[in-house]
Structures are given as structure tokens and as C-alpha cells.
Structure 1
């Protein structure tokens, strides 16, 4: 189980990473681990709020890097909110590039707009 990480600067400003807290609690409940550091946000990105789907995808493109610890593993990527999937997709691509055999995404909430 790997949490979708905040950038280091945002983490220090908040003093917590909500996705890592969720992943840690779920992993403990399931008797699993949620290691920190297997997936990192390598550059600071704009907040996704208010961006179009295309802008969101561009904003997070190449923003993640995974370690070889994920190689040949099935990975459950955990995040708090799924909106367009751009962030989860970019993170999953980094996990696959590092050799993960499979990536599934689990989120606590799904955001959408009623039109």
C-alpha cells in the first residue's frame, strides 16, 4: 500500500499528509504495511482546484518518482480524493515505470460537479 504523497514543502506547511495517515490506518487494520518513500513527489505542483482536466494532467505530468522497492509488486495506491484521475494516473505511471506489476487506486472520496 502506497500513499499518494504531498510535496515536501506542502507537507512541512501542513505538518501531516492526509493520504499517508489514511494508508497507515488502513494498512494497520489489514495487517499490511504502508511504507513511506516508495513514491515521492519530485516537484511542487499547483493546487489542482479550479484547473481543467487537461491542465490537471499537465500540472502533475512527471511529478512523481517511485523506488525500485515496488518492482514486481502489486501496489495499492491510496489517496484522499479522486477528481479527474490525473494525479492518480501520473503516480501510477511512476510506479509502473519503477517496475510495479500492477497498480490499483483506492480513494476515500470521489469529487464531481453537478451541472
Structure 2
């Protein structure tokens, strides 16, 4: 189980990473490992609020790097909110690029608009 990470700067401003907190509790409950550092946000991105789906995808492109520790593993990627999927997709691409055999995404909430 891998949390979708915040950029270091945002983490230091907030003092917590909600996805990592979720992963920690969930992993403990079901007896799985939740290693930190298997996925990092290597590029600071702008906030996604107000961006179109295309802008979100461009904003997230190449924003993540995955550790070689994922090679040959199935990974459950955990985040708090899924909106367009741009962030999860970019993270999954990094994980697969580092050798993860499968990436599934679990989120607590799904955001959508009626407009």
C-alpha cells in the first residue's frame, strides 16, 4: 500500500499528509505493509482546484518518481479524493515505470460536479 504523497514543501506547511495517515491506519487494520518513500512527488505542482481535466493532466505530468522497491509488486495506491484521476494516473505511471506489475487506486471520496 502506497500513499499518494504531498510535495515536501506542502507537507512542511501542513505538518501532515492525509493520504499517508489513511494508508497507515488501513494497512495496520488489514495487516499489510505501507512503506514510506516508494513514491515521491519530485516536482511541486500547482493546486488542481479550478483547472480543467487537460490542465490537471499537464500539471501532474512527470510529478512523481517511484522507487525500484516496487519492481515485481502489486501496489494499492491510496489517496483521499479522486476528481479527474490526473494525479492518480501520473502516480500510477511512475509506479508502473519503476516495475510495479499492477497498480490499483483506492480513494476515500470521489469528487464530481453536476454542471
Unpaired segments ≥5 residues, structure 2: none
Residue in structure 2 matched with residue 16 of structure 1 by the alignment: 16
Q: Deviations over 1:73-107 (max 9, x none)?
A: 00000000000000000000000000000000000
TM-score where L is the length of structure 1: 0.99
1:90 aligned residue: 90
Gaps of 5+ in 1: none
Query: Between Structure 1 and Structure 2, how many residues are aligned?
Result: 115
Q: CA deviation at 1:33?
A: 1.2
Taking the aligned partners of 1:15 and 1:37, their CA distance within structure 2 comes to: 17
CA RMSD of aligned residues (A): 0.4
Displacement of 1:31 in angstroms is 0.6
Q: TM-score, normalised by structure 2?
A: 0.99
